[in-house]
Chain A
Amino acid sequence: MEKTWNNKAWFMVLPVLVLVAFSAVIPLMTVVNYSVQDTFGNNEFFWAGTDWFLDVLESDRFWDALTRNLIFSAIILAIEIPLGIVIALNMPKKGIGVPICLVLMALPLLIPWNVVGTIWQVFGRVDIGLLGRTLASLGINYNYVQNPLDAWVTLIIMDVWHWTSLVVLLCYAGLVSIPDAYYQAAKIDGASRWSVFRYIQLPKMKRVLLIAFLLRFMDSFMIYTEPFVVTGGGPGNSTTFLSIDLVKMAIGQFDLGPAAALSIIYFLIILLLSWIFYTVMTTSDAQG
């Protein structure tokens, strides 16, 4: 069948363009305008040039928060992606177990971020929380309010609990789309379990893994609500990620100029890293 080329079809994307303009482009323009000015309220602004960008780039506070973000995202990806693949591989492919597993997997994803934070905040408390009290009764000195390492472990376990399901569901969708003929051919060839995974399942999951990887990277890099509720960025600044620092700066201190400059740098870093991941993974996909 011959394709019809009609440029009027571009008008169909106009509503999306208008929506994106209102929800993203105009706010972004406003942030850029704020980043080069100073204000004391009352809608009065004073030109500051690149001063706020310089302030942010020269502050240890920014680099420390960025380092925390990168470490957090790296740990999250290193745990959630392999764990998600393993769980998806072991989920039933037919029978009553399928809907049960899918519902169980979807449950953490349905809980709002602030509720997840509250659940884990209470769960980890040494005085009333099940986890905190159990660990204390086992003689383990765990206290996420005072110990930075415990705070990090709590946040990582919380994120793994909340978001591994997303990776599982995406991988599972990739796995069930593999025709039985592939497995039958592998069986005839006497392929090992590892070979089936390496040469059939993993290539078929590549596209969904790319989506999972990007979503989890962007989400973990922009994480705000859960650590804010559980640790509030503490103890000290040990769990103060860029987003938490940004809110402290913009709303807590009302430093709109530096906060806008930090937002733009933060946005550019996410854009760059997401582009690199996307390009590397789609290029290897095309070559492989």
Chain B
Amino acid sequence: MDFSWMAWTLPTALFFLTIALMLVGMGVWEYFSPGGNPRVGILRFETTRGDRLFVSLLGSAFIHLAWLGLVGANLWWALALSVIYAIAVFRYV
């Protein structure tokens, strides 16, 4: 099968592979600890771990965009900030 029309690059392939691994990881987590671990965090509404992953990924996307627009094209710091943000979301939201 020829997927050259999708214009794949190594960085984008790694990006999607990471997302896919996260989803598989969430599936494994759910298998061993079913129910999604719902709880009410600092946002004062109930979230499951799936919600927390969604909030982490969406927030990370905006952190990267904000960094790009306000600071510059070196996104490693934005990535580090996103990881800290995701840990905080999983810990407190």
Which A residues contact B (CB, under 8 angstroms)? 26, 29-30, 32-34, 36-37, 39, 43, 45, 47, 49-51, 53-54, 57-58, 265, 268, 271-272, 275, 279, 283, 286
Contacts and interface: CB of A to CB of B under 8 A. Distances in A.
Contacts of B5: 30, 43
Interface string B77-89: 0000000000000
A36 B7 CA distance: 10
A53 B69 CA distance: 8
A29 B12 CA distance: 8
Contacts of B21: none
Interface of A is mostly: helix
Contacts, number: 57
A5 B49 CA distance: 21
A50 B75 contact: yes
B32 interface: no
Contacts of A272: 58, 62
7 cross-chain pairs, A with B, having the tightest CB-CB distances, nearest first: A57-B69, A283-B45, A33-B7, A30-B6, A45-B7, A33-B12, A50-B73
Contacts of A26: 6
B53 interface: no
B4 A43 contact: yes
5 contacts: A29-B16, A33-B8, A45-B9, A57-B68, A279-B45
